[in-house]
Chain A
Amino acid sequence: MALSRLTSRSNTITRPFSAVFSRLISTDTTPITIETSLPFTAHLCDPPSRSVESSSQELLNFFRTMALMRRMEIAADSLYKAKLIRGFCHLYDGQEAVAIGMEAAITKKDAIITAYRDHCIFLGRGGSLHEVFSELMGRQDGCSRGKGGSMHFYKKESSFYGGHGIVGAQVPLGVGIAFAQKYSKEEAVTFAMYGDGAANQGQLFEALNMAALWDLPAILVCENNHYGMGTAEWRAAKSPSYYKRGDYVPGLKVDGMDAFAVKQACKFAKEHALEKGPIILEMDTYRYHGHSMSDPGSTYRTRDEISGVRQERDPIERIKKLVLAHDLATEKELKDMEKEIRKEVDDAIAKAKDCPMPEPSELFTNVYVKGYGTETFGADRKEVKAVFP
């Protein structure tokens, strides 16, 4: 089960198999057991075991996909500075383990809904680099046809519900999706993701109450990167134990920089949600960039702190050490893989740059359902400028 899922996913993320990766992946698929770095802290439930079942293939895939995500985010940084990406751009580098660990534990029928830091989650859900860069640069081939931008990535086929700009607004939506899943007996769950800043929004507690009341298969995932834009968590929350905030809803605190801990927690959460109802997961993670590209990220935290986390807890380094320890690849092979990834990202950017912008008539499409035929006026109300299709 794991193998077919992994290969099908790698088919969509990576175009033709890279030379190094295909050679490595064709090696044996022996199961490997990995211990998480830290134990889980539980609230109102029994924590899962620290031993995570994995395989060499999964380990390599983790490395490759996380390296791809990291490269993609850094490339987006340069594109933004070159003014090819306009608007707002919130980068996920440092938090890749959450996206990848979650994907490893679930299927494409399980829904994910998140806030605006969504590039890597989209990639994890099967999005292509071309769609990512096209959408960031506002081109036609983007996943939202160029009309959404960085904050609004969606992928219906993979049950990825986006991509939301307003903080906290996606959580009640996630609970609604969970209700629909329960109603249609799909045996699927919804992961509603939000940050430590959003954890103080009232609508979150409203949604949580509803989920608990009706035993919905909703998993609320707090990606705690310790800063709500520029505000440290201890300045914003009386209780920064976000996994306990559910009160009557069980919670689990997870080391969000350890992809295997995330995978174990999500697997545990999915089983719990299908059986008993909502659960909160707090992912203890960190972002290297500032809140967005307009934020240098160093006015509210020290550079030492950032480099400290990068040295001690970097998720990709962790996986790299595991890969080397289990003798699945040599240092040189991993470096070659990173070079291939770099090239892949550069190619995707070049292709996206060639893609045209959406047609001006697209300004008026999809405001209402097609065929509604509403009129819209231009600058001067005397003249009908367009009829909404």
Chain B
Amino acid sequence: MAALLGRFCRKLSFPSSSHGARRVSTTACESETGKPLNLYSAINQALHIALDTDPRSYVFGEDVGFGGVFRCTTGLSERFGKNRVFNTPLCEQGIVGFGIGLAAMGNRAIVEIQFADYIYPAFDQIVNEAAKFRYRSGNQFNCGGLTIRAPYGAVGHGGHYHSQSPEAFFCHVPGIKVVIPRSPREAKGLLLSCIRDPNPVVFFEPKWLYRQAVEQVPEHDYMIPLSEAEVIREGNDITLVGWGAQLTIMEQACLDAEKEGISCELIDLKTLLPWDKETVEASVKKTGRLLISHEAPVTGGFGAEISATILERCFLKLEAPVSRVCGLDTPFPLVFEPFYMPTKNKILDAIKSTVNY
């Protein structure tokens, strides 16, 4: 329950500069200027900049014209016109296929899928068309300008179809990139990188943080590099890896663990495909223990891939088995959500049992 309450008073204040193996090498972290913005406003700013800087970029999806159900697209249609920012009918497969075609002609197609739970009709288009276009045409064609944005993750009352975390399905597809931001400042930089990346990208936005997370976001155009993980908290006893909204929960667990004398290193993966193996490897070689946490069900979740890879690379350095604290292997439940979620206490328990192995 406390974890649940904790989620409702989330105001992120991650340190501006990162320590550890990989340093975020943009001006974003150097400057502290900027206004406090929440996640949907940061994403909105990123979209404004993207459309402003590239006249051949388009934003479309269900209900984006008036601003979208989460207000991420407010003001775009008024500023850039209905030819560049437009609503589509209710047909995800058609929307993504259409976006792939648009991107194949050299445009930047920024597609919004209203909830990640609805992305499955488009799964065929993403996996079979978008991911393989460049490959099967021998580099004659590509749909690198395609960026698919979708809100994902639990929100407290979403139930079966407004809370899913489908990132694992997409991480299994070579040819696309999967990116998940943890906070407003990260989201703006990462989204701009995704839009400008010459590969198709699926960008999942943690919907719980749309209003809950507020952070100083610089107003200028900046990009955060993809496939670079960030160590957001240094420690010596155990490495924790996560992404998106789950990081706030993990940070709370780290603070609690510190009170018990366990020093935790927390890494934000940011890009899940292709993921930054080197940073995680370096960290685990230092601490000797790894814990991965995500909201998606544990079996077949992306934590399994991280666990297997780290095991290959750091076997002799590991002091304990890799621990995964994830959602349960059930459909995302309705009233049982607090039991299903990987809460702070579950993570804390796992930290302690791993450290005391």
Contacts and interface: CB of A to CB of B under 8 A. Distances in A.
B160 A165 contact: yes
B344 to A, nearest CB: 11
Contacts of B93: 202
Interface string B79-104: 00000000101110110000000000
Interface in A293-340: 299-300
A47 interface: no
Nearest to B90: A197
A147 B87 contact: no
Contact of A357 (B162, B323, B335): B335
Interface in A144-201: 146-149, 151-152, 165-168, 197-198, 200-201
Nearest to B298: A377
Which of B90, B118, B350 gathers most chain A CB within 10 Å? B90
Contacts of A300: 66
Contacts of A197: 89-90
B276 to A, nearest CB: 24
Interface stretch (A22-30, A50-58, A209-217, A358-366): A358-366
Nearest to A381: B324
A286 to B, nearest CB: 19
Contacts of B162: 87-88
A363 B334 contact: no
Contacts of B90: 167-168, 197-198, 200-201, 228, 231, 236
Chain B at the A interface: SS class: loop
A324 B169 CA distance: 60
B339 A381 contact: no
Interface in B317-356: 321, 323-326, 328-331, 333-336, 339-340, 342, 346-347, 349-350, 353
A375 B334 CA distance: 21
A376 B325 CA distance: 13
Contact of A379 (B94, B121, B347): B347
Contacts of A152: 160
A237 B335 contact: no
A246 interface: no
A15 interface: no
Interface in B297-330: 298, 321, 323-326, 328-330
Please tell me the size bucket of the interface on A: 35 or more
The interface size bin for chain B is 35 or more
B349 A367 contact: no
Given A87-B158, A197-B90, A376-B329, A202 B336 contact: no
A370 interface: no
Given A86-B157, A165-B161, A200-B89, A381 B298 contact: yes
A75 B343 CA distance: 34
Given A149-B334, A379-B346, A360 B339 contact: yes
A378 interface: yes
Contacts of B323: 380-381
Contact of A362 (B160, B329, B336): B336
A382 B161 contact: no
B342 A147 contact: no
A230 interface: yes
Given A202-B121, A236-B89, A362-B336, A230 B66 contact: yes
Nearest to A139: B335
Interface string B60-80: 001100100100000000000
B36 interface: no
Contact of A363 (B62, B158, B340, B342): B340
A363 B162 CA distance: 18
Nearest to A165: B161
Nearest to A375: B329
B225 interface: no
Contacts of B66: 230, 299-300
Nearest to A300: B66
B158 A367 contact: no
B328 A378 contact: yes
Interface in A230-251: 230-231, 235-237
A277 interface: no
Given A86-B157, A379-B346, A380-B323, A166 B118 contact: yes
A148 B160 CA distance: 8
A20 interface: no
A370 to B, nearest CB: 15
B159 interface: yes
A203 interface: yes
B67 to A, nearest CB: 10
B325 A147 contact: no
Closest 8 CB pairs of A and B: A379-B346, A200-B89, A165-B161, A138-B335, A363-B336, A86-B157, A236-B89, A87-B159
12 contacts: A87-B162, A138-B335, A146-B335, A149-B159, A152-B160, A198-B90, A201-B91, A201-B121, A231-B90, A236-B90, A358-B336, A380-B350
